[in-house]
Every structure is written in C-alpha cells, then in structure tokens.
Amino acid sequence: MAKSELSFEVALKELEKIVEKLESPDLTLTSALEQFEKGVALMKTCDSHLRSAEGKIKELLAGKNGEFIETILGVSSAETAGGESTDE
C-alpha cells in the first residue's frame, strides 16, 4: 500500500513507531536518516488528511451566504462578536 493511501490513523501509528526508533541510542546515522525520511513522508500523509478534514468541516459550517462561521467550543463568533457575554 502506498503511503498516500494510508488512513490518518495508520500513518500516525507508523509515525509514532518511527519516533520510538529515532529515540533509540543504538540507531546508526544511516538508519536514523532512513527513518527520518519515512517519517517526513508519513507526516505529509497525515497533514494531507488533516487539511482535507478541515476543508470538509469548513463546508459543513458555511453560513447561508457561503461565509465561514467560526465556532469556538460550540459558541459562534457571531455571538461573541456582538459583545454578548458567554459567562452567563
């Protein structure tokens, strides 16, 4: 399976394994560089998945006129921008 076809969760688990290997004091420089290269590819895969998810979330949260409505912990920015207190 190509790295670009990995799910976010699988890529993240592989990345965590690479970090553990890189933390080993017994790793040779050559092996460390190979692991680092694999890690960068996995990081790019994870980033791609996260950017895709962010785009989907923005689509779902788009307002009626297509503007993005940013929400912070379930409170829309329109509510907080209007000067209303959220502490009540």
Q: List the single range of 1-5, 62-66, 82-86 with lowest mean pLDDT.
A: 82-86
Query: In whole angstroms, what is the distance from residue 11 CA to residue 27 CA?
Result: 22
Query: In whole angstroms, what is the distance from residue 14 CA to residue 83 CA?
Result: 46
Confidence at 71, pLDDT banded by 50, 70, 90: low
List Cβ neighbours of 18 (8 Å cut-off, separation of 6 or more).
35, 36, 38, 39, 42
Please give the pLDDT value at position 56. Answer: 86
Taking the CA atoms of 6, 61, 84 and 82 in sequence, report the sign of the dihedral they define: positive
pLDDT tens digit sequence for 16-70? 999 999 999 999 999 999 999 999 999 999 999 999 998 888 878 777 777 767 6
Query: In whole angstroms, what is the distance from residue 53 CA to residue 55 CA?
Result: 5
